[in-house]
Structure 1
Amino acid sequence: MTTLVRVLVVCAALLAGCGTAAPAPAPTAPAGEPQRLRAEVLGEIPHDTKAFTQGLEIADGTLYEGTGLKGRSSMRALDPVTGAVRQQTALPADLFGEGITVAGPSIWQITWQNGVAIERDRATLAERRRVDYPGEGWGICLDRSANRLVMSDGSDRLTFRDPQTFQPLGEVRVTSNGQPVTQLNELECAQGAVFANVWKTDEIVRIDPATGQVTAEVDLANLLTEEERGSADVLNGIAAIPGTDEFLVTGKYWPKMFRVKFVP
């Protein structure tokens, strides 16, 4: 495939609108050993190596990225084809940004240990209001089929929240083969499941939100070269590409985002 054709294919996939027919929900795996998957790389996009990535999501032709660290946290709107920053706003220096998700005209951005969720105007990235919550904030995504937010806190728990009020609606504990799965970090709701980065690993797990059961484990260990890993931090960042069964994945300080499909 020529470079021009490859670029056109990437552009068409990433700029697909939300009105495109979504892929069928992923089948729920039977109890027992999770399905083992790997990431088939379909393309690469530049990524800011100064970005401590905490959240990643695509909506209506824009790639949104939340970054972390005190004094360096931000909310960004990116070009999904080039990775270039279109808009950016900084968090107050005392806040440590974590996961993000688009909810209609808003973006929710949570914080690590500050106990604060920020609702932002999606068009301008400006802060609209803050809502307090107990405990830590790690990842968040919007389960559109159930009209609820799904939030992780570093434990084996996923908390469901109202997308307008941010109030808790319930929770589920995540297990694999009957054992708790902790360190659940950045989340993406897609294909009827919740996909979660597992902190400090090269693994993403697919979770059935109804039962908390891990139905698949995805190995992403070979995305970066040894040279690239020298300056990169952990895998963190997963965004479903609307209208496809593909994802963008990246990590903290990674030089690239990868367009991938999860395959056996």
Structure 2
Amino acid sequence: MHFGQPELKRTLLGFCIVLGISLTFSCKQDKAGSTVGFKFPEQGKEVTLGDDLKIELDVPADVKVNSASYLVDGKSVGTKNDASPFVLKTAALPLGYRLISAIVDNGTKKDTLTVNVVLKSAIKPALFGYKVINTFPHDTSSYTQGLEYHDGRFLESTGLNGSSTLRWVELKTGKALQKISLDKKYFGEGSSLVGDKVIMLTWQENTGFVYDAKSFKQIGSFPYQNSREGWGLSFDGQRLIKSDGTNRLWFLNKDNYKEEGFVEVFDDKGQVDQLNELEYIDGMVYANIYQTDKIAVINPKSGAVERYINLAGILPEKDRFPNTDVLNGIAWDAKGKRLFVTGKKFNKLFEISLVPKK
């Protein structure tokens, strides 16, 4: 999408939470004098998935430890009968922020300690460029938010207040074969075809719409739940997959649109934010990264980025106009094995093949 700065807000919130935890723990130490804490790991430590993580308590000389029980995100992972280090196996854990807890028993009372770590992907993403196979016209009034290919035509949803639309688009001409406009109070976002229905998101209005795929008559709506905003949407044949501008991919029930879980997206360097338009292709999620020329290819089971596609330069300078915006829009012709990409208010849509980078 968009105009906001969701990641800045998220970073500040995370900083405040960590700061609050740190201050609370420091005060506890000052008052208690002799308090057990964590020696390892330090707060916010980044750990590569699959690496062993050493957890060690910092125990004052005058404190006895009868047992220490360790948990990750509230689930028990092991117990020690003393304060000796505990080794956490991370291979089966989800990517992202994990809360490590230690329940320390000195025989008369139990104290609970917590620390956060970040699990990042162990996979170094393969890098791809592109080759343009065909070029097609694209409507420069279309602030593209969602793009799919079905039976020789595109399902495209567009954004901006007062200009948001849902349309079926002819491939060869780029012209709308059928179109409806959203009320000007809505900022349109991603869309996806599910059976005989089209599901379309809005940005910050906390609302998704359900349309009849043939008539575009609205037949329902639904509220968002824990996901922050509406950005991209795709369908894997079983569940809807939704992005909200963060590094999360949310999984929605295809019938009632309830959120049933999420994965956090990471590469080998850290979390990958501002995931935008989505396309499900052969078991992987292809995601535009907002305000970049990159597409991340994500394993939806783990959240790991396995490939990056760099589309820099795909729209020639001669085709860039004052209203031309950023790359956004991925569509897959499953039968013809064709990959299409475009951008917000681009005058062209491209069929491309992927070229591995050496």
Matches for 1:1-264 after TM superposition, within 5 Å: 31-134=122-225, 135-144=228-237, 147-231=238-322, 232-264=324-356
> What's the TM-score once normalised by structure 1's chain length?
0.86
Q: Which amino acid aligns with 1:242?
A: A
**Aligned-pair CA distance for 1:80:** 1.8
Contact preservation (8 Å) 2:240, 2:252: yes
* CA distance in 2: counterparts of 1:61 and 1:120, whole angstroms: 20
> What's the TM-score once normalised by structure 2's chain length?
0.64
Contact preservation (8 Å) 1:68, 1:98: yes
Contact preservation (8 Å) 2:123, 2:305: no
- Structure 1 stretches of 5 or more lacking a match? 1-29
Q: Which amino acid aligns with 1:259?
A: E
* CA distance in 1: counterparts of 2:282 and 2:145, whole angstroms: 21
When Rg is computed on C-alpha atoms for both structures, the one with the higher figure is 2
**Aligned-pair CA distance for 1:221:** 0.7
Contact preservation (8 Å) 2:192, 2:234: yes
* CA distance in 1: counterparts of 2:134 and 2:248, whole angstroms: 33
- Structure 2 stretches of 5 or more lacking a match? 1-120
Q: Tell me, what secondary structure is at the counterpart of 2:166?
A: strand
Contact preservation (8 Å) 1:140, 1:186: yes
Q: Tell me, what secondary structure is at the counterpart of 1:240?
A: strand
Contact preservation (8 Å) 2:267, 2:305: yes
Flag as ranges the 4+ runs of structure 1 deviating above 6 A: none
Aligned positions, number = 233
Q: Which amino acid aligns with 1:129?
A: G
**Aligned-pair CA distance for 1:59:** 1.2
1:171-214 deviation digits (Å, cap 9, x = unpaired) = 10000105100000000011110000000000101000000000
**Aligned-pair CA distance for 1:103:** 0.5
Contact preservation (8 Å) 1:46, 1:255: yes
Give the number of the structure with larger relative contact order, counting CA–CA contacts within 8 Å between residues 6 or more apart: 1
Q: Which amino acid aligns with 2:179?
A: Q
| Greater shift in the superposed pair: 210-219 or 78-87 | 78-87
* CA distance in 2: counterparts of 1:119 and 1:75, whole angstroms: 11
Contact preservation (8 Å) 2:123, 2:304: no
| Greater shift in the superposed pair: 224-233 or 33-42 | 224-233
